[in-house]
Amino acid sequence: MIDFIRAFSDPDNVFLRIAIYVATLSSISFGIIGTYVVTRRISYLAGAISHCVFGGIGAGLYVQKKIGMTWFEPMYGAILSAIIAAVIIGLVSLYAKQREDTVIGALWAIGMATGLIFIDLTPGYFDITSYLFGDILLLSIRDLWMVVFLDVLVAAVSLYFYHVLLAVCFDQEFAGLRGVRSGAFYILLLCLTSLTIVLLVRVVGIVMVIALLTLPAAVAGQFARRLWQMMLLAIMFCVLFTWTGLALSYSLKLSSGPTIIMIAGITYIVTISLSKLRKKIQFKSE
């Protein structure tokens, strides 16, 4: 731990400082969107979106390297594919009631396959592990600005539409009956989720996105009594998980993504076990 703090304060260690800044600032979006994903129960949809993001990254690399549009960063492809996936998945889950899970499962796999095929077609060698498992230490100043932009967007939308989104997450049908365009709000929520996922992919990678999106919110849900409390707690837990994960991975020379997820996962399991135990004791004493 001491060497982590020393490394953090070392002026030459720019990458570590950016990593900590990104982790802290992006926790705002992760906490807020994670709360919506957990309460609206769409973590499965979020998983599908994250795998479609890989398709966009592959396509982005192809466009940049093979077609020669050098300004087209893979990140642009990722954002584009995430938004498209969010809209398609949103429409599928709104209108294709019966086969929803099959369609979403198919999109999940197709997104992944598209990415791999584009990477095959693109000349040169790419290390895809940083996309799959994330590498927070590869982040740049530009990523930091992206995080700030996303934070402002997510916080503004969820503050302005707080009551409407609460109603849509709690009971979409009823909200619709009250004249709220609940389908549109649902898709808006999925679009914000997909942007957050693009960012998360940079931090923990495609495979573990769902974990960092849902675990802080799920832990927060054990203590929170209102939606905004759950958001604030989720943000705090997300900061806690990423900081300790980074510190631990630095000291033990482990990959940052999996370390963060391990800490989040263990905390989640411990908290739900403790709350189950507490309820049992309460029940017995009654």
Binding site for other proteins (CB under 8 A): 39, 41, 160-164, 166-167, 169-171, 173-180, 221, 224-227, 229-230
* Residue 245 contacts residue 265 (beta carbons within 8 Å): no
**Cβ nearer to other proteins, comparing 15 with 228:** 228
Compute the least distance from the CB of residue 282 to other proteins, in Å.
Answer: 12
**Least distance to other proteins, CB of residue 172, Å:** 11
Q: How far is the CB of 182 from other proteins (least distance, A)?
A: 10
Q: Which of 216, 202, 204, 187 is nearest to 255 (CA)?
A: 204
Name the DSSP class of 97.
Answer: -
User: Residue 258 CB, nearest distance to other proteins (Å)?
Assistant: 28
d(CA 103, CA 168): 23
Distances (CA, A) of 284 to 79, 222, 272, 277: 52, 20, 18, 11
Question: In the Cβ-directed half-sphere of 189, how many Cα atoms lie within 13 Å?
Answer: 33
Given the complex with other proteins, which of 92 and 217 has the nearer CB atom?
217
Provide the minimum distance between the beta carbon of 176 and other proteins in the complex, in angstroms, as a whole number: 8
Which residue is associated with the tokens 């982005």? 60
Contact 153, 192 (CB under 8 A): yes
* CA-based nearest residue to 207, from 138, 101, 108: 108
d(CA 31, CA 38): 10
Residue at token pair 């370390």: 259
Q: In the bound complex, what is the minimum distance in angstroms from residue 35's beta carbon to other proteins?
A: 8
**C-beta closer to other proteins: residue 104 or 227:** 227
Q: Which residue, 172 or 244, has its beta carbon nearer to other proteins? A: 172
